[in-house]
Structure 1
Amino acid sequence: MMNRRTFGKALGAGTATASLAGMHAPASASAATRGGTGAAGPDHPRGTLSFGALKQIRAGELSIGYAEAGPPHGPVVILLHGWPYDIHSYAEVAPLLATHGYRVIVPYLRGYGTTTFLSPKTFRNAEQAVFALDIIALMDALRIERAVLGGFDWGSRTADIIAVQWPERCKALVSVTGYLITDRKQQHQPLPPAAEWAWWYQYYFSTERGELGLAEYRHDFAKLIWHNVSPTWHFSDATFDRTARAFDNPDYVRIVIHNYRWRLGLAPGDPRYGDLEARLAEGPPVHVPTVTLDGALDPFTPPGNGAAYRGKFTGPYAHRTLKGIGHNVPQEAPEAFTQAVLDADRM
């Protein structure tokens, strides 16, 4: 989710296919994996689309599970999910983009779904830089030189980092809630109480009790977050359960806990990435063409119609605030997210 200081200031101012058990698309939704429309409609009620057989590839220190839609030689769009969500945030966006000729890649982040570490000895690191490095490794493994990147929550931060650190790999960017690259020094400063309240789980996760609670109640915890940050999104139990399977990954709890503790300076990162993190902490601007999206009902959206982060985007730029939409923008408003991708790519 967005940098808490930015939010506080705004308030104050060779690929092998692999099936994922229980995750096959229903017959009515199989077009999503054939590159067909697969769009929600009378035969496909919103929230019922799913990906079929997933793919798996070794990339960096991971075996990354991902869904793919669209023509194999089309221009590439990589879509990145956040916490506590998974690839199904894009189950309707992916087939929509496929109808426009895009090859759409939707990977599970480390600690989610079928993405696993290649070695049990690897540090289960969740500092911000490693997620970007994972996606660069995925692009290398798939021989993708450039892609349009889109994301929300952790996915926005990851896409933002790639856009500033490896702009040659990012053709255009769609970033929900704007500029989310974290400066840990700013995280040490207190926020107004209303802002701190929105981050309650971050402080819960800083305790042993919070870690045990996430492990024991991971599904209930995620569902509570979904309700709190998307107050008008009336998702079904089936829609939630489809995503909640991704939280059964054996590294899920360690990745989530380390991510939030790292942000507060309560857990170390990997010294190998110290220089990269130092550059990111300086808040480098994004020069690639960008569309930013805000869900008007998302408690992490700063007021001001994107003004809180406008100065961070120096290239071709557009901003949209989506009325009646909460935090999970691509799943709550798939048509608007899809249009943002198309517009960013055309800038």
Structure 2
Amino acid sequence: MVDDVRAGTVEANGLRFGYLEAGPEDGPLALCLHGFPDSAHTWRHLLPELAEAGYHAVAPFMRGYAPTAVPDDGACQAGALVADAVALHEAFGGGPDAVLIGHDWGALAVYGAVAYAPERWRRAVALAVPPMTSLMSSFFEYEQLKRSFYIFLFQTPFAEAAVNEAFVAGLWRDWSPGYDATADVAHVMDCLAAPDNLAAALGYYRALMDPSAHADRYAAQQDAVSAVGERPLLYLHGADDGCLGVDAFFPNGDASAVLACLPRGSRAQIVPGAGHFLHLERPAEVDRLVLDWLVDDRQDM
């Protein structure tokens, strides 16, 4: 197995991005986007598998997460993440055979990027956050509102004081019960150690409540986040997800509600024995599902 993971930096969309990469630089681009509270290290199991399959696998630290720069204009809404994904595709010389994989906030960037620029991506994978229309249909149910307390906390001036190592560890413990997140939490705290970096990460959530912020610059990309694109997607959700309860999106295990919000030819399924960070909790199974999805598409071409 390829296990050589390299670090680098690249300029894209006016920001200096830090990233981890594996695999041949002339292979098809596989761009892997992380969420909150997380880092590019979250893809440490998948990057070598993608590299072994011949991909140039790249996991950037998302905007605002050190060593990636904090945007000067403070733009951190989902539309900005879409613009970043497209710009990173360009910066790494991606072609139409590129694939896009995202978890949590990275999943929202996936939905938007494949709808906004479908010609850049062959196929895509989203984990742990369903399509926006599906997400909003269940967000205001009582049990989900309890799980989502942190979003409302992040709108307050107390958020910066509250989000420390113990808080981040608590989210991981609640969202992925039984998983030892010690190393992951340490990576998160490294990324958010500076006040500006923490403010940027919180800014993702504050932009949810202020959709007018930077609306002109990223309007088309923001609209794409809620659109149904052309490229088929694989959507995976952990059965024990403590962040977004699986029953709200897969009632009685039925994936039809999620699939109705995805492009034709998509697939959605539950991963048993996994929580929100399913790719870390069940890496062998999730890696296999991702690679099988990508291989199936190549066979169909």
The interval holding the TM-score normalised by the smaller chain is: 0.7 to 0.9
1:52-101: CA deviation from partner (whole Å, max 9, x where unpaired): 55100111220011111012222221111110011111101111221222
Segment of structure 1 superposing worse, 323-332 or 245-254: 245-254
Q: Is this contact kept in 2: 1:296–1:326, CA < 8 A?
A: yes
Question: Which one-letter code corresponds to 2:173 in the other structure?
Answer: H
Name the CA shift for 1:190/1:66 in 2 (closer, same or farther; >3 Å): closer
Contact 1:285/1:312, CA 8 A, preserved across alignment? yes
Unaligned stretches of 5+ in structure 1? 1-35, 39-50
Q: Structure 1 CA distance, aligned partners of 2:132 and 2:104?
A: 11
Tell me: CA distance 1:276–1:67, structure 2 relative to 1, closer, same or farther (3 Å): closer
- Residue matched to 1:129: 79
- TM-score (structure 1 length as normaliser): 0.76
Which structure has the larger Rg? 1
- Paired with 1:105 and 1:245, the residues of 2 have a C-alpha distance of 20
Structure 2, unaligned runs of 5 or more = none
Which residue of the partner structure matches residue 232 of structure 1? 178
Residue in structure 2 matched with residue 309 of structure 1 by the alignment: 258
Is the partner of 2:240 in helix, strand or coil?
coil
Query: 1:144 is matched with which residue?
Result: 94
Residue 93 (str. 1) matches residue 28 (str. 2): no
Q: What amino acid is aligned across from residue 102 of structure 2 in structure 1? A: G
Question: Which of 44, 52, 76 is the aligned partner of 2:29?
Answer: 76
Q: Which residue number in structure 2 is paired with residue 164 of structure 1?
A: 115
* Alignment partners' CA distance in 1, 2:212 and 2:133: 15
Q: Number of residue pairs matched?
A: 289
> Structure 1 segments of 4 or more deviating over 3 A?
177-184
Alpha-carbon separation, structure 2, partners of 1:182 and 1:124: 26
Evaluate the alpha carbon distance shift between residue 272 and residue 142 of structure 1 in structure 2; reply closer, same or farther with a 3 A threshold: same
Out of 131, 138, 141, the residue aligned to residue 180 of structure 1 is 131
Query: 1:141 is matched by which residue type in structure 2?
Result: A
Q: Deviations over 1:291-328 (max 9, x none)?
A: 11010001313233333321122332222211110001
* Alignment correspondent of 1:330: 279
1:265 and 2:210 matched: yes
Does the CA-based 8 Å contact 1:173-1:341 persist in structure 2? no
CA displacement, residues 249-279 of structure 1 (integer Å, 9 cap, x when unaligned) = 55322222222122123872342223443x3
Name the stretch that deviates more: 323-332 or 138-147. 138-147
Say if 2:189 is the partner of 1:244: yes
Amino acid at match of 1:231: P
Please give the secondary structure, in 2, of the residue aligned with 1:208.
Answer: coil
Change (3 A) 1:307 1:273: same
CA RMSD of aligned residues (A): 2.5
**Once the two structures are superposed, what CA deviation does each residue of 1:144-186 show, in whole Å capped at 9, x if it has no partner?**
12311111100100011111111111110111136333799x6
Distance 1:52 1:250, change over 3 A: farther
The DSSP-based 3-state class of the residue aligned with 1:324 is coil
Q: Where does residue 27 of structure 1 map in the other structure?
A: none
CA change 1:182–1:251 in 2 (3 A) is: farther
Partner of 2:168: 222
